[in-house]
Amino acid sequence: MTSEELKKKYLEFFKSKGHAIIPSASLIPENDPTVLFTTAGMHPLVPYLMGGSHPEGTRITDVQKCIRTSDIDEVGDSWHLTFFEMLGNWSLGDYFKKEAIEWSWEFLTSNNWLGLDPKRISVSVFSGDENNNIPFDQEAYDIWKSIGMPPERIYRYDKKENWWGPAGKTGPCGPDTEMYYDSGKAECANCTTEGPACDCGKFAEIWNNVFMQYNKTAEGKFEELSQKNVDTGMGVERTVAILNGQKNTYDTDLFEEIIKKIKELATNSNQTSERIIADHLRAATFILGDEKGISPSNLDQGYVLRRLIRRAIRHGKIIGITKPFSFIIAEVIIQKYKDDYNELQKNKDFIIEQLVQEEEKFSKTLARGLKEFEKISEHDVTGHDAFILFTTYGLPIEIVKDLAKENDISVDEKNFEIELKKHQNLSRTATAGKFKGGLADHSEETTRLHTTNHLTLQALRTVLGDHVNQKGSNITKDRLRFDFSHDKKMTPEEIQKVEDIVNEQINNKLDVSFEEMSVEEAKEKNAIGVFEHKYADKVKVYKMGDFSLEICGGPHVKNTGELGHFKITKEESSSAGVRRIKAVLQ
């Protein structure tokens, strides 16, 4: 079974059980500042698990793109990945344990669906947590038994194994029941955990049904949620591997072309390096391709992205790739995924340019960094060494760790993190200070500039063409900053034209109003918006006379006549293929 078939079957199955299919959300969480990436399918659904009403109803199913970097050191083995797709079905205060478990069983074992051998499946349920007064999950246990699961294949695990969430530091969480598939391998000799949760490779966890009935508060307390939810997650990569009797995710159709291309470019072979390159560049391509337009940097998501790309490049050197190659692999990845994630195709130029730039930048410092590492490698790497290797020589911590391993020395990661945090916090305070005026101030000035944003975008499209899309914006009470896709410096004449058009629309005293509609209707009306996977429900469409129609949450002024005189004060490059203007209202 191919990955495509699996995804299709999953969605079809849950559709037949009354679930609405929704598109994958962005990899960058919208409403959760406590984590950098969307780590699970439930993450974008948190507001609804907490009781908010979802426009598509109380039964939802989807395939969500996810990034988890906590296991980055394990990448290269058979199963661990930093990017993966997660199949999920949700009950938002609708069905609970009985239906969730029975449907999981039906989907896994029925010949109409996956048709796995029931005898090879084991399960686990939550054993309870005395400290927090959460009992053994008798209900889940009984349901499994009633389905016919022999009691000796129903394992009881504690919080470490059978508890899930919250995705960030607070939020919905609960006990879970997990399903494992027996690979048929002989028992491992040095199993650390009894039963299928052992990492020895005999069993693979294929599905996790979380019964989200608690909310973890900022004080670390578990409160009963007002509604009982189900959150399930099945990893596409590992399930495809299991269905095809493959021993690892890299043998699946998802990686076939990627690994093939890597081997083609290499002059020697090293399985771990090939896998790290494939995994890291897949994650990097998806982060770059996300509508949020993240670029490699030393902060937050950009920092993770930089580490992924650079580690892939270094492993490229290990297998003898001498020319720039990350973009070549990205092209294969985009080709494989573009039908399911059309943002990759849309942002292809950006992905490629960013990879080329980062590879160029890194290639310049890599040789120096390796030399520097050699100098210090007579002793264990201190936190400060690792910090200097990154900030001065561009070697991310993963590369330092790889090198240390190769030289049989250790790295003081803890002190590295402490020094890096200090450094990042300094730059963050600097940025936060600058930003505060804009965020703290919801005054009329910011509303006026926000309305001006819409006029500016439409004017830019009129003058430069319809390829212009918004790539970012930041408003303070004094000015607007607007990033947009365009690959050339604007000429003075173009800047003048944009100013003239905006001022003309201000003088025309256009009425500003909005209407709520579905994304389809918005598209039909030719509203401007980022038409990737961001809007699943009803959206607000703001109209400014007949001049501008744009999806936006507001707020805006009532009439463009309130805006004043528009002037562009600066036009510059923001990143590859993206220009930035600053403008004021006088």
Closer of 41 and 529 to ligand SER (Cβ)? 41
Q: Indicate the Cα dihedral angle 104, 110, 113, 114, nearest 10°.
A: 80
In the complex with ligand SER, the residue whose CB is nearer, 29 or 233, is 233
Residue sitting closest to ligand SER (CB): 233
User: Which of 332, 356, 334 lies closest to 289, judged by CA?
Assistant: 334
Q: What is the β-pairing status of strands 121-126 and 171-182?
A: antiparallel
Distance of closest approach, residue 85 Cβ to ligand SER, in angstroms: 12
Q: Shortest gap between Cβ of 232 and ligand SER (angstroms)?
A: 5
Angle between helices 300-318 and 271-289 (to 10 degrees): 150
Smallest distance, Å, CB 168 to ligand SER?
Answer: 12
Q: How far apart are CA 572 and CA 465, in angstroms?
A: 18
User: How near is the Cβ of 74 to ligand SER at its closest, in Å?
Assistant: 17
CA–CA distance from 86 to each of 235, 424, 573 (Å)? 5, 32, 36
Closer residue to ligand SER in complex, CB, 233/289: 233
Which CB sits closer to ligand SER, 233 or 394? 233
Tell me how far, at minimum, the Cβ of 60 lies from ligand SER, in Å: 12
DSSP one-letter string for 230-253: EEEEEEHHHHHHHHTT-SSGGGSH
Shortest Cβ 58–ligand SER spacing (Å): 17
Q: Who contacts 204 (Cβ-Cβ below 8 Å, separation ≥6)? A: 79, 180, 181, 183, 238, 241, 242
Length of the chain: 586
Alpha carbons 511 and 560: distance in angstroms, whole number: 7
Question: If you search the block for the tokens 């027996």, which residue do you land on?
Answer: 182
CB of 63 to ligand SER, least distance (A): 12
Q: Which is nearer to ligand SER, 88 or 396 (CB)?
A: 88
440's enclosing H/E stretch is helix 413-440
> Shortest distance, CB of residue 194 to ligand SER, whole angstroms?
21
Cα first-last separation, the chain:
63
| Residues of the shown chain interacting with ligand SER in the complex, contacts defined by CB under 6 A | 40-42, 88, 164, 208, 210, 231-233
Q: Quick one: 68 or 307, whose CB is closer to ligand SER?
A: 68
Angstrom distance (rounded) from CA 166 to CA 31: 14
Q: Would you say 42 or 321 has its CB closer to ligand SER?
A: 42
In one letter, which amino acid is 133? N
Smallest gap from Cβ 184 to ligand SER, in A, equals 24
Amino acid at 164: W
* Smaller CB separation from ligand SER, 172 or 296: 172
Of the two residues 27 and 40, which places its CB atom closer to ligand SER in the complex? 40
Strands 480-485 and 171-182: unpaired
Contact in structure between 335 and 286 (CB atoms under 8 Å): no
Nearer to ligand SER, 126 or 390 (CB): 126
Q: How far is the CB of 91 from ligand SER (least distance, A)?
A: 12
Minimum distance from residue 76 beta carbon to ligand SER (Å):
22
CB closer to ligand SER, 231 vs 237: 231
DSSP helix, strand, coil percent of the chain (3-state; round to 5): 45, 20, 35
Cα 37 to the center of its chain, rounded Å: 5
Q: Locate 407 and state its tokens.
A: 């030289």
**Closer residue to ligand SER, CB minimum distance, 107 or 164:** 164
Least distance to ligand SER, CB of residue 79, Å: 14
Rounded to a whole number of angstroms, the minimum distance from the CB of residue 392 to ligand SER is: 38
Q: What six digits make up the tokens of 157? A: 């695990």
How far, rounded to the nearest angstrom, does the alpha carbon of residue 533 sit from its chain's CA centroid? 12
Alpha helices in 180-324 (DSSP H): 236-243, 253-265, 271-289, 300-318
Nearer to ligand SER, 233 or 529 (CB): 233
Question: What distance in Å separates the CA atoms of residue 413 and residue 73, rounded to the nearest whole number?
Answer: 13
DSSP string, 449-512: HHHHHHHHHHHHHHHH-TT--EEEEEE-SS-EEEEEE-SSPPPHHHHHHHHHHHHHHHHTT-BE
Q: Give whichever of 43 and 454 is closer to ligand SER, judged by the CB atom.
A: 43
Reduced to 3 states, what is the DSSP secondary structure of residue 514?
strand
Q: Cα(129)–Cα(143) distance, rounded to whole angstroms?
A: 21
As measured in angstroms, the least distance from the Cβ of 336 to ligand SER is: 23
